[in-house]
Structure 1
Amino acid sequence: MGGHGGLNILPQKSWNVYNFDNREKVKKDEEAAAKEDQIKREQSRKRDTEFRIHKLKLAKGLQPDTTDSVSITTESNNNHINLFQGIKVFPFLLSENKEDDSEEGFKRKKLKKQEEGKKKEKVVVSAEDDKYRLGYGIVGKGVKAPWYVSLPVKEGMGVVVWM
């Protein structure tokens, strides 16, 4: 007769989240996780502080302490990082035309460009070719138009023929 018409067996289950024992377990786990996080944060702050002190000493020109509890591995030079180190062959370097920075090299390049410009044929675009430019229509050059694109043509006695 508990007002909801049925057995109330939840309090006897071991997995019941409202049991006192289960609530205590959760509370202990949360406290342990909070302590662990606090310890990690403190260690991180300590490492950061020691690293900053080490960098400041290097910048000032002082010898850093060798009795530091945390070993700091830093590179004192901030040089360019070569991502292609170890790669010996580049495809663009394989071409036979090596860059020639002399005046004769520039003259040769200029003459070569002029010759290439003369060799190129000018393309004449007619009105018919203009119809088939990209995005103009759905039918390409030399292809018969589908029946739904062409207009109906009347022939004879009222019969409509699609072409």
Structure 2
Amino acid sequence: MNILPHKSYHVYNLKNKERVRKDEEKAKQEEEARGERANIARAKQRQAVTGENKDEPPEETSNQNTDPIQNHINFWADLEKESLAVVSTNPEYEAEKRAKEKKWEKQFTMYLGDVVKEQRPWSKVEGSVSIYDPLLIMKSKLDTRSKKKNKVDTREKRDRSYNKGKESNSESSSPSSIEKLRSERLAREKKERLRVQKLLNPHMVNESEPTGRYHSQFNPNATKAAHELSEQSSSDRYNNRYRSRRYKPY
């Protein structure tokens, strides 16, 4: 039961459990005392009936089991009482028993009071003021940022110096490689100019090269002649129509 464990009326509270244990021990002692008084009374009654010596102390006869029904005499009653007294009053045994009970309770019971005692305020912790100081936190952040910036700047400077050295090495290379690169560039520019010129002036294309789309087809010459004939007939029709539409004064 973990409901309000720090309250005084909690069932499994240590104080309440100790109180219950003491009450049980007290009830047990009272029960033993009542039994002892009953035994003494029965012994006195038996002495009165049998006519035994009345001056004999009743403790000796009380050690025997004088139940008239059983008629049994217990010769070890004193030893049993001594053993019970030793067990009940042994402080080491009681301390060990309480320690075991407390250990067992801690495994299954949670007390809020113990948790509160274990916690300490942050101001009492050593070094907590310097850790949680906002000014110190901001200063550390700025220092970290400046370190990162300096690291980046040094890296950029190193890269620039490396690139400069690379460029100087390329400039100091052999003139033959430079001339080769220049000639390749000029050839590319010339090729690009020719391509643009062909696109803008298709009639200037060399006739020796295969033009058109029928050079790889079956019977390309016949196809080309048919196209030329169709183009000529279309031009003739256009000329005839144009001549027929010309103005005729007579």
Q: What range is the shorter-chain TM-score in?
A: 0.3 to 0.5
TM-score scaled by structure 2? 0.24
Larger RCO, structure (CA 8 Å, separation 6 or more): 2
- Is the helix fraction higher in 1 or 2? 2
Larger radius of gyration: 2
